[in-house]
Structures are given as C-alpha cells and as structure tokens.
C-alpha cells in the first residue's frame, strides 16, 4: 500500500515465537532447587543439556529453554538459536533484551506450573550470550532468583544500577567462570564483572580455567560444587 505521495506506508503487528524447553529432573522432587540453563549463541537446548549433563548428578531440576531466534552458524549450514538480535546498537540491545526477558519469565512460570514445581531456590546458569541474558534477568528479578552463574560473558552492570544493590540485599550469590585464553570475551570482562558485583555487596566467586570460549568438564565440576555448597542436596544438613 502507498499513500498519495507514493511513499510506502509501514507498520507492524505482534508476532509470537514459541520457545521450546526441556526439564531434566534427575529424580529431584518438585521443591528442589531449579537451575535455569541458558545456552550460548548458535547452540540449542539439547546441546547445552548434553554439555551440562554431569551437573545432573545433583538432585536438582534443570530447565533448559531454546533461545527464540534462529541463528545460522557463520560459514556453515547448521542453524542454532540466539537470545536476541544484535547490531551493535545499545538502545536496540536493551529493547530486545527486555523482550527476551519477558519471554523467559513467562516460560519459567509455565514450565513450573506444568511440571508442578515449587523450587526452594532458583539459579540462572548462562554461557556466552546466555550469560549476558541470564545476568540481566537474574539481577533484575532477585525476588525470583537466588543465584547467578556466568560463563564466558560479561555482566552489563552499567545498565542495571539499583537492581544490583537490591539483589545484594536479598542475598544473591554469583559465580563467574572464564577461560584464560578466551578471545571472544576478554578475561578483563570477567574481572570487571566480579569486581562490580562485589562492590555492590553480592557474594561473588571468580574462577579461571585453561582454554578459550567454552564450558568444559573442569568448569562443570566447579559449578557443581559451588551449587551444592550453597544449596545442599537433601542428604546434606544445613545451608551455607
């Protein structure tokens, strides 16, 4: 359609992209801690669940969504998924991230209802793009989340402000994991993230690993122990 000047008339209508998810229960009861696992760009929920399978020795529930946007791997025919479109614009990044945030929260509520979960604690674990997304969501919703694990990403503290201080008051705990040879996200990004979280009052551990932009078995082992120390499985008395 064109107007009388001959210029195109543009508009938009809402369009909902379904988000797939999987829940791995590991024999855990409905009130066990829930770990929300957000994969990296170009990955899928099944691939990420495979990478994290050693975590499932813990009697927790693991919810792994697939990011909503299809994303083709550079130079390959294989298609994975992305949490948000990114073109370098900070304004668009925050706008798109807010849309993804709502989708994740809606998915969380739906999955918990469908699986009859009433978690004693919720922790977001995000790798790479999932780490950017997960830290944004967890720190902005410390009424829902008790912990945050970020691997191969930076916490965008400059856009969070008061949310980080509120999360600290509510007892948020954080673990930052990073490869010393990571060329995608410099190690300084992990260090500044940890420093900023600590300055706000959040209990934060920073762990370095050999290798680059990946989440491997050494990280999984550290993450597993970190979780178990703070939200002990039922056969371990007390809570750190």
CATH number, domain with residue 186 = 3.40.50.1820
**142, part of any domain:** yes
In a domain, 1, yes or no: no
Per-residue pLDDT, 235: 61
DSSP 117-148: ---S-EEEEEETHHHHHHHHHHHHTTTT-SEE
Residue 45 resides in a domain: yes
Does residue 207 lie within any of the structural domains? yes
Task: Name the domain count of the chain.
Answer: 1
For residue 235, being part of any structural domain is answered with no
Predicted pLDDT at 190: 97
Question: Which pLDDT value is given to residue 6?
Answer: 75
Does the residue 81 lie in any domain? yes
Per-residue pLDDT of the chain (240 residues; tens, 9 = 90+): 455 677 888 888 877 778 899 999 988 999 999 999 999 999 999 999 999 999 999 999 999 999 999 887 777 777 889 998 876 677 777 888 899 999 999 999 999 999 999 999 999 999 999 999 999 999 999 999 999 999 999 999 999 989 999 999 999 999 999 999 999 999 999 999 999 999 999 999 999 999 999 999 999 999 999 999 999 876 644 444
Any residues with CB less than 8 A from the CB of 8 and at least 6 apart, and which? 1, 2
pLDDT for res 87? 67
Does a structural domain hold residue 10?
Answer: no
Per-residue confidence (pLDDT) for residue 90, from 0 to 100: 74
Distance CA 82, CA 132 (A): 12
**pLDDT value at position 3?**
56
Residue 71 lies in a domain: yes
Looking up tokens 């990955």 gives 43
pLDDT at position 11, please? 86
Domain limits for position 65: 21-86+93-230
pTM of the entire structure?
A: 0.90
Q: At what angle do helices 187-200 and 162-169 cross, to 10 degrees?
A: 60
pLDDT value, residue 50:
97
Among the listed residues 231, 225, 222, 150, the one whose alpha carbon sits nearest the alpha carbon of residue 185: 150
pLDDT at residue 4, rounded to an integer: 66
pLDDT value at residue 237: 44
Contacts of 156 (CB under 8 A, 6+ apart): 132, 135, 136
- At 93 the pLDDT is 79
What is the reported pLDDT for 240? 42
């Amino acid at each position: 359609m064109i107007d009388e000047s001959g210029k195109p008339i543009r508009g938009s209508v809402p369009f909902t992209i379904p988000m797939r998810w999987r829940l791995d229960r590991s024999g855990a009861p409905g009130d066990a801690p829930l770990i929300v696992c957000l994969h990296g760009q170009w990955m899928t929920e099944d691939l990420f669940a495979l990478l994290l399978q050693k975590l499932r020795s813990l009697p927790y529930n693991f919810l792994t969504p697939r990011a909503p946007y299809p994303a083709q791997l550079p130079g390959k025919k294989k298609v994975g998924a992305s949490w948000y479109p990114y073109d370098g614009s900070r304004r668009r990044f925050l706008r798109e991230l807010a849309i993804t945030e709502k989708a994740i929260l809606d998915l969380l509520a739906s999955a918990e209802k469908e699986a009859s979960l009433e978690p004693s604690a919720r922790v977001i674990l995000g790798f790479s793009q999932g780490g950017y997304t997960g830290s944004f969501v967890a720190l902005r919703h410390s009424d829902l989340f008790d912990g945050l694990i970020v691997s191969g990403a930076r916490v965008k503290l400059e856009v969070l402000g008061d949310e980080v201080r509120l999360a600290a008051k509510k007892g948020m705990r954080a673990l930052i994991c990073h490869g010393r040879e990571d060329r995608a996200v410099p190690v300084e990004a992990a260090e500044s993230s940890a420093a900023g979280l600590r300055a706000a009052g959040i209990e934060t551990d920073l762990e370095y690993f050999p290798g680059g932009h990946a989440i491997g078995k050494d990280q999984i082992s550290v993450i597993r122990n970190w979780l178990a120390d703070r939200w002990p499985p039922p056969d371990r008395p007390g809570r750190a």
